[in-house]
Amino acid sequence: LIVALALCASLWATDYLTILLFLVVVGAGYSTAQPGGSKSVSRWFAKTQLGFAMGIRQAGLPLGGALSAALLPYLAGIYGWRSAFLAGGLVAFLGAL
């Protein structure tokens, strides 16, 4: 939720330093996603399925990065950089649910 809020709040940034500060907050918020996500997966799946479940989870991280790298510059080129931050914030919010 911190990631989503910081990305959406960055829409009102008017200079590089402000965006940088919001992205520091994004990084701090994201630092809790890896251990928290791994713990959730380990609780949801039996030990016999844990390797497969963690593999799927870990495969999603580079896949999400690749999709973001492909789509967000296109979105920013058409609608401006703020739209890319908003899209990232919305995806982060949905992920937090």
| DSSP for the chain, written as a single string | -HHHHHHHHGGG--SHHHHHHHHHHHHHHHTTHHHHHHHHHHHHS-TTTHHHHHHHHHHHHHHHHHHHHHHHHHHHHHH-HHHHHHHHHHHHHHHH-
Residue 66 has pLDDT above 90, yes or no: yes
Per-residue pLDDT, 30: 87
Rounded mean pLDDT, 55-77: 90
> 44: domain range?
2-96
**For the chain, what is the domain count?**
1
| pLDDT at residue 64, rounded to an integer | 85
Taking only the tens place, the pLDDT of each residue in 6-44 is: 999 999 999 999 999 999 999 998 888 778 788 888 898
Predicted local distance difference test score (pLDDT) of residue 71: 93
